[in-house]
Structure 1
Amino acid sequence: MRVAVTGSIATDHLMRFPGRFTDQLVPEELDHVSLSFLVDDLHVRRGGVAANIAFGLGCLGMRPVLVGAVGRDFEEYGDWLRRHGVDTRWTHVSQTRHTARFLCTTDDDGNQIASFYPGAMDEAATIDLGAVAERVDGLDLVVIGANAPEAMLRHTRDCRAARLPFVADPSQQLARLGGEEIEDLVVGADHLFTNEYESGLLLRKTGWTTADVLARVGTWVTTLGEKGCRVQRTDEPPVEVAAVPVAGPGDPTGVGDGFRAGFLAALAWGLTPTRAAQLGCAVAANVLRAVGPQEYRLRGEELLALCGSVYGTEAADDLGRHLVQER
C-alpha cells in the first residue's frame, strides 16, 4: 500500500517544568495571567504530525510519501527522514519562511503548555495532492493531518476529486475550525482519528451524535491515553484495546502520531482493526519512553515480544508475519 502523509513538519523545542502548572494559577487573577516557568532542561527534536507519522511508517518497513511545506532549513531534517524510509521529494520548500516550530513545556502531571509557529506551513495549501498522486504512480491512502486549515481543506477536496481514500486526522486544529469546516474534513473519510477530548469537541461543534459520525466515516479510532484506544464502526460493537504499560513518567509529545503509524502500517498489511490498534499502542509506548517524537527505534523482535506479553501469542504471531526484520 502506498501511503501519503500530509500535515505539519516542524522542529520541537521540548522543556520540562518540575512542578504542576495548576499550582501556579491564582483563581482570582486568571483575567490577566503573566507567568514564566523556569524549566530544568531543553531538548530540540524533529517533529510535526506528518513527519512523525511518516517516520514511524518508515521504521515499520513502509515507504510513505511526505507531503507538506518546509523552509530552506529543512535539508538536515530531510536527510534524517530519508534515512528512515520516508520519500520527501514532494515537500514544498518556501523561499521566505522557516520550517515550523513547536515550543512545549510539560509539567510533572503530564500537562502541557505549548505554542506553534507555522512558518512555511502556511504555504502548504499550494500543494496539488492530485498531481503528487500522479507523479508517484498512484496512492492507496492519504492521511490528512493537522496543517494550515486551508491546506487540510484543499487536500481533502483533492482526495475526493481524485477518488483517493483518505484518513481524517484534524487533531489540534479542531479548536480553530468551525462545524462546517469539520464536516468538510470528515465526511467520507476511510478512517477518522481523534483523542478522547477531541471526540467531544468534534461532536459539540458539528452537532452530530456518535451515530451521525459513524454514518459518515468508515472507522472512528479514538485514543484514550493510558487507557488505550477505542475503534468504532456502524452496526458493530466497539473494540477497546488496552495501552501498553510504560513504567515511570515519559514525554507524551508525538505519542499519538506513533499510534497512528502503527495502526496504519497494520492496516496496510491487511490486518484487523484490533491488531492495528495493538500495534499502534506498542509503537506509542516506544515513543513515550523516548524524549522527542522521533527518538525511538523499532526493533522487530522486541516489538513482537512486547505485543506478545501484553496481547498474547496470537497477536504476536499475526504481527510477526510482517515484523520480521530489525528496524
Structure 2
Amino acid sequence: MSLLIAGSIATDHLMTFQGKFEDSLVVEQLDKLSVSFLVDDLEIRRGGVAPNICFGLGQLGLGPVLVGAAGEDFTDYRSWLERHGVDCHSVHISDSKHTARFVCTTDTTMAQFASFYPGAMSEARQIELLPIVERVGEPDYVLIGADDPDGMLRHTEECRQRGYRFIADPSQQLAFGEGDLIRQLIEGAYLLFSNEYESHLIESKTGWSSDDILERVGAQVITLGKDGVKIVAKDQEPVVVPALKNVNAVEPTGVGDAFRAGFLAATEWGLSHERAAQVGCTLAAYVVETVGTQEYTFTREQFVARLGASYGDDAAAEVGKHLN
C-alpha cells in the first residue's frame, strides 16, 4: 500500500519586512494601491504543497510518493527529497518550463503578501495515477492538494472512477476556483482539509451549508491557527484539539502543509482523529519555528516529549510506538 501526495512543486522566495503592512495601506485608496516595502533579507527555500507534505511524512518515517510537475531545474530538489524518504520517480518533468515559484513577504504581525508563478505546474494535468499505482501498489490515500486546477480535477475524477480513497485539500485554489470546480473537488472525499476562512469560502462559493458538506465528505478538518484544529463529521460531536504549547513563531509559511503531513501520518497508523490532530499540531510547530518549509529536524525522543508535554502521557505513548 502507498500514500500518493499530489500538488504543486515550487521554490519559495521568502522575505521579511520589519514593520506592519497595515501602516502603509489606506483603506479608502485600495483601488489605487501602489506600495513597496524594503525587506531585510531573502531566503530561497524548497516549497510547494506536495513536497512540503511529503517531507513531513518522511520525517515521521513514512515513504510518500510525490505526484506533480516540475522543470529540469528540479534535479537538486529531487535529490534532497529522496534523501529524506520521498519517492520522486513519478514526478513529471517539463521540457519547456521552470519549476513553479512562490514569492512571499511577511511582516512583524505574520501578515503576508504573496504571488505564485505556476510554470511547469500547468502540466500536472498530463499525469495519470494508474501507472503510478501499478508501480507502487494500491494507495491507502491519495491527497489532492493545490495544483493546476485541471490536474486536480483529473486526479479527483480518477480516484472516484478507480475507487481510490482521496483527501481533498484545495487550499490556495479556493480563492480562484468557481463553485462548480470546488464542488467537483470535494464530492466524495474521505477527508476535506481547510482553514477557518477557507471553510466559509467553500460554503459561499458552492452554495452548500456546513451540513451539506458533511453529507458529501467523511470528515472536515478545519485548522484554527493559534487556536488549534476542529474536526467535524456527520452525526458526531466535533473534536477540538488546542495548538501545541510553548511555540516560538518565526515564519508561518508551510505550517498548514506540516499539519496535514502529521494528520495523514497518524491516520495511516490507524489512530483517532484526535491523535491525528495532535501529531499534526506538533509537526506544525517545528515549521513555524524555522524559516523555510523543510528546514526542521527532530529526534523521535524530542517529538514524543514535545507532544506529551501538550497532550499528555497517553498520547505520547500511543504516538511514540509508531515513530521510527
TM-score normalised to the size of structure 2?
0.98
Shift, 1:320, TM fit: 1.0
| Structure 2 residue aligned with 1:58 | 58
| Structure 2 residue aligned with 1:268 | 268
- Residue identity opposite 2:223 in structure 1: T
The answer to which of 256-265 and 21-30 deviates more is 21-30
SS in 1 for 2:276: helix
Alpha-carbon separation, structure 2, partners of 1:247 and 1:235: 34
Alpha-carbon separation, structure 1, partners of 2:171 and 2:247: 26
Alpha-carbon separation, structure 2, partners of 1:258 and 1:192: 16
For residues 127-186 of structure 1, the C-alpha deviation after alignment (integer angstroms, 9 at most, x for no partner) is 001221122222111000000101000000011111100000000100111111111000
| Structure 2 residue aligned with 1:169 | 169
Aligned-residue CA RMSD (Å):
0.9
Alpha-carbon separation, structure 2, partners of 1:278 and 1:137: 29
- Residue identity opposite 1:75 in structure 2: T
- Residue identity opposite 2:136 in structure 1: V
1:95 aligns with 2:88: no
| Structure 2 residue aligned with 1:155 | 155
Shift, 1:247, TM fit: 4.1
| Structure 1 residue aligned with 2:232 | 232
SS in 2 for 1:140: strand
Alpha-carbon separation, structure 2, partners of 1:298 and 1:220: 29
Equivalent residues of 2:247, 2:285 under 8 A apart: no
- Residue identity opposite 2:107 in structure 1: D
Alpha-carbon separation, structure 2, partners of 1:27 and 1:62: 47
Alpha-carbon separation, structure 1, partners of 2:298 and 2:172: 26
Give percent identity, aligned residues only.
56
| Structure 2 residue aligned with 1:2 | 2
- Structure 2 stretches lacking a partner, 5+ long: none
SS in 1 for 2:139: coil
| Structure 2 residue aligned with 1:217 | 217
1:198 aligns with 2:198: yes
- Residue identity opposite 1:238 in structure 2: P
Pairs within 5 Å for 1:29-48: 29-48=29-48
Equivalent residues of 1:130, 1:159 under 8 A apart: no
- Residue identity opposite 2:35 in structure 1: L
Alpha-carbon separation, structure 2, partners of 1:65 and 1:248: 31
- Residue identity opposite 2:318 in structure 1: D
Shift, 1:216, TM fit: 0.4
For residues 69-91 of structure 1, the C-alpha deviation after alignment (integer angstroms, 9 at most, x for no partner) is 00000000000000000000000
Equivalent residues of 1:246, 1:289 under 8 A apart: no
Shift, 1:246, TM fit: 4.2
Moved over 4 A (4+): none
| Structure 1 residue aligned with 2:141 | 141
1:306 aligns with 2:323: no
Alpha-carbon separation, structure 2, partners of 1:308 and 1:246: 13
TM-score normalised to the size of structure 1?
0.98
For residues 190-232 of structure 1, the C-alpha deviation after alignment (integer angstroms, 9 at most, x for no partner) is 0000001100000001111111111100011000000000011
Alpha-carbon separation, structure 2, partners of 1:298 and 1:57: 13
Q: 1:206 to 1:287 in 2, by over 3 A?
A: same
Q: How many residues align?
A: 324
Shift, 1:59, TM fit: 0.8
| Structure 2 residue aligned with 1:108 | 108
Alpha-carbon separation, structure 1, partners of 2:104 and 2:227: 24
